Amino acid sequence: MSPLGERTRPLLRGVLALWITLAGCGDSARTLYYANGNRWSAVRFEEGRPAGRWATWYEDGRPKSESFYVAGEAEGIWRTWFPNGAVRSFVSYATGRRDGQSELYYENGQLMQRGAYGMNKKTGDWKEWFENGALRGEASYREGRRDGAFKRYRENGTLIDLTTYVEGRRHGPSYKETPDGVAWSEGEFVEGLKAGRWRVLKPDGSADRSNSGFFERGVRVGD
């Protein structure tokens, strides 16, 4: 589901490019500047590896990103900001892996996405919102795999997609609607395979007979 996809990586490409340029410099601290004299970036190395606080700024002096390293590995809370000064994202790291809370925001300050990682794997409840604050999607994860109800909503709050997972496999009710509210797929999975009665429609609204009917362990056995 795109709302709960991989959009939590910090937007720090400029900092990483600087790392590549300056790596191997031994113990050093470097600061680069814009033509107007404001700082563009500040980084530190210890034994040729990133260390301590790294930061970048917009040309007007407002903060753009902040990250931390210990012995060359990402550590602590990494943050990014929009040009208007609003928080854009923060992600927690431990020993080079995403570990802990992760949040993304819209430029107007509205929360876009919230979830958590455990040793670089999604864990617990994840949610995402539309820019107006309406819930857009929600899912649960266990050690990086979907586990529980996986839902998507329209901006008016009505359900558009529901799929149930157990340890990464579809298991339980499944329901999908078209954008205009027509149910085009509904049925149930058991251990990742279709089971029981399924009703599926083609894009033109006619019955999709090959994907509808009664199923046993993923095989259609009747109408």
Residues 42 and 84 in one domain: yes
Tell me which residue range forms the domain holding 99. 7-131
Residues 70 and 51 in one domain: yes
Dihedral pair phi/psi, residue 17, rounded to 5°: -65, -40
Structural domain includes residue 1:
no
CA atoms within 13 A of residue 60's CA, in its CB half-sphere:
5
Q: Reply yes or no on whether the pLDDT at 5 is more than 50.
A: no
Question: Which pLDDT does position 122 carry in this prediction?
Answer: 97
Question: Which pLDDT does position 134 carry in this prediction?
Answer: 98
- Of 92, 108, 131, which residue sits at a domain end? 131
- Of 131, 148, 171, which residue sits at a domain end? 131
Dihedral pair phi/psi, residue 14, rounded to 5°: -65, -40
Mean pLDDT of 111-136: 98
CA atoms within 13 A of residue 86's CA, in its CB half-sphere:
11
Distance, in Å, from the CA atom of 50 to the CA atom of 70, rounded to the nearest integer, reads: 7
Give pLDDT tens digits for 60-81: 999 999 999 999 999 999 999 9
Residues 127 and 138 in one domain: no
What's the CATH code of the domain at 64? 3.90.930.1
Contact residues for 53 (Cβ-Cβ < 8 A; gap 6+):
42, 44, 66, 67, 68
What's the CATH code of the domain at 211? 2.20.110
Q: Are strands 219-222 and 213-216 parallel, antiparallel or unpaired?
A: antiparallel
CA-based Rg of the chain, rounded to a whole angstrom? 23
Structural domain includes residue 18:
yes
In DSSP terms, 135 is beta-bridged to 129
Q: Does the reported pTM lie above 0.85?
A: no
208-217 residues labelled b (16+ CB within 10 A) or e (exposed): beebbbebee
**Number of domains forming the structure of the chain:** 2
- Of 103, 131, 159, which residue sits at a domain end? 131
Q: Which pLDDT band holds residue 161 (cuts at 50, 70, 90)?
A: very high
Give pLDDT tens digits for 81-113: 999 999 999 999 999 999 999 999 999 999 999
Residues 22 and 126 in one domain: yes
Residues 48 and 95 in one domain: yes
Residues 188 and 116 in one domain: no
Residues 89 and 110 in one domain: yes
* C-beta separation of 129 from 137 below 8 A: no
Residues 13 and 79 in one domain: yes
